[in-house]
Structure 1
Amino acid sequence: MKNRWLRRSVNAVLFVGLIAVSLAAWALWLGNRDVPPTTEAQRQQAFRRAVAWMRAHETALLRDSNMALWWFVQTAAQRTNDADLRALLLRQRAVATQDGINRLPWWHMMDPKADTLRHIVPLDALEPYQRFLYHAVTCEPVALAEGDTRAFLAPALCQPMLTQVILDDPACTTHQLAGVMLMAHMACAPQHTLPPLAHALLQDIEHQMQ
């Protein structure tokens, strides 16, 4: 009886393991299969759907004070000159002014020359990448457990990929790239140093997706 129970247990474990391996193989294939590039018409259609969604959910969006979100919206409006996005940004600016959000350091994402109160953000509560974003919007390095946020200007910060990305922070390189782009936006570093770093990080992200 004991041997029969043991065999059943082993078979069950092997069956579950086979399913797990099969799912992992399928996910790996799905992420690496060849797909045709999107067309301009498809990109335009996706953009219009996104704008339509934002218009339909405007009330909820205007309550969102995530400046990274609004920075992306502002960048999209500048690149496309979309009337709906420009109108949404005007309403968001009115809400930010009313609620005092435009006095926070994060508002520099929207206006690099804004007059903000820099030392009202509790830096100890921020994750390391958030401290780097704060560094980017204020041009002031922030202390980390070891050193400071200038460490994020190293191209190999998120390498090796296994330990730094897969096992620790899947968004490591993406967060680093966002901070580098913000530093360029704020002119916080010699401009000739940032494009090569951004290019290296984009290549790293592309490698991670393969």
Structure 2
Amino acid sequence: MLRKLLIIFISIVTLPTLGYAVYVWQYNRDTPPPAHAELEAALNASIHWTETNSEHLLSTNNPMLWRMLQQSARLTGDARLQALFDRYTQRYLGRDPDYLWRPLFRDGVWIPVTPASLEGLPYYNRHFIFSLTCDADLWALPDIQAQNQAGFCDGHRFRSACVTHQLMGLRLQQRKQCPQDPDLAATVSRLQARLVGQLTWDPRPVDVYLQRVLMLTESGAGGQVKPAWLRRLLRAQLPDGAWANTPMLLPLPGARDLVWTRNGIGPGRAVGNFHTTAQGIYVLSLLLYGQGDEGRL
């Protein structure tokens, strides 16, 4: 009896561990990189999705996503992306000359900022605004300085996008040449190494997986992106050209499927998502037309 219980216990512990090890190996093994034509086809399909859903996308004012489309339009020269971004500009950027996010899209633009103007913003958006302005008063805020430390995300392990958000802020500081942090380049390098580890040990093709590939590529570390990760990214693209925040793992009867989530596996539906698709368009644009340090904002 004790032997049977021991065998059952070992099986319960060993089988999931073995399954996870095989899963990790499968999506990190050596594989040829995707062909140029595959990347082009994926990019064209994703841009077509933005055309088809343009009215819905324009109801979403997420500045970082629109900056990704702006940069993608600049890299690719695609008239469809440029037309969509022009519509966004007319709707959101032409109204308020003191709009906090204006420097994200236009070089040489200055806006007045104060610590009070950041009240109510998520922690990473506060960091972004400092990174766009290099404002000394904002740099004095402890939470902003903390986000310039390589170990910041150690205290936020359940925020799956913590490292990518932090790296976005640091990259903005590099482009704006903020003078406050002399260790900026070293911190960027350390965060790149953390993203490589996260992509290696967490192969779930959810939104943050794509975001990790994007930030490695955008920050000049595209050489550390494994071809298997790119193939994983392409396989997660939906037939309509978009990417879902919760990709399907297994179809189920009825209105829901079994999908990947940020917390594991659960019921849901794989539906195209602007947040994920904008990142997919940007990373494909970088892969096809230039990687890292993509010039001025």
Alignment TM-score > 0.5, same fold = yes
Match of 1:153 among 128, 148, 155: 148
d(CA) in 1 for partners of 2:52 and 2:7? Answer: 52
Contact 1:164 1:172 in 2 (8 A): no
**Alpha-carbon distance change, 191 to 88 in structure 1, aligned in 2, over 3 angstroms:** farther
Matched, 1:36 2:26: no
**TM-align CA RMSD:** 3.5
Deviates more, 1:112-121 or 1:28-37: 112-121
Please name the residue that 1:3 is paired with.
none
Q: Which has the higher strand share?
A: 2
d(CA) in 2 for partners of 1:188 and 1:34? Answer: 39
Report deviation, 1:40. Answer: 1.4
**Alpha-carbon distance change, 199 to 138 in structure 1, aligned in 2, over 3 angstroms:** same
Provide TM-score, normalisation by structure 2. 0.54
Matched, 1:83 2:79: yes
**Alpha-carbon distance change, 84 to 195 in structure 1, aligned in 2, over 3 angstroms:** farther
d(CA) in 1 for partners of 2:151 and 2:112? Answer: 30
Please name the residue that 1:204 is paired with.
194
Number of aligned residue pairs: give it.
196
d(CA) in 2 for partners of 1:192 and 1:84? Answer: 40
SS at match of 1:105: coil
Deviations 1:15-71 (A, max 9, x none): 876775465345433443333211211111111111111111111111111010011
d(CA) in 2 for partners of 1:74 and 1:157? Answer: 31
Instruction: Report percent identity of matched pairs.
Output: 25
d(CA) in 1 for partners of 2:117 and 2:12? Answer: 46
Report deviation, 1:14. Answer: 8.4
Match of 2:179 among 183, 186, 189: 189
**Alpha-carbon distance change, 104 to 16 in structure 1, aligned in 2, over 3 angstroms:** farther
Match of 1:172 among 151, 162, 180: 162
d(CA) in 2 for partners of 1:170 and 1:43? Answer: 27
**AA in 1 matched with 2:118:** L
The 5-angstrom pairing of residues 106-145 of structure 1 reads 106-114=101-109, 116=111, 118-119=113-114, 123-140=118-135, 141=138
Please name the residue that 1:104 is paired with.
99
Provide TM-score, normalisation by structure 1. 0.72
**AA in 2 matched with 1:83:** A
Deviations 1:141-193 (A, max 9, x none): 3566xx34123333x3257xxx557x432222211111112223333237986
d(CA) in 2 for partners of 1:107 and 1:121? Answer: 18
Contact 2:110 2:133 in 1 (8 A): no
Contact 1:131 1:142 in 2 (8 A): no
Report deviation, 1:93. Answer: 0.7
d(CA) in 1 for partners of 2:67 and 2:126? Answer: 18
Q: Which has the larger radius of gyration?
A: 1
d(CA) in 2 for partners of 1:44 and 1:31? Answer: 22
Report deviation, 1:92. Answer: 1.1
Show structure 2 runs of 5+ residues with no match: 201-297
**AA in 1 matched with 2:24:** L
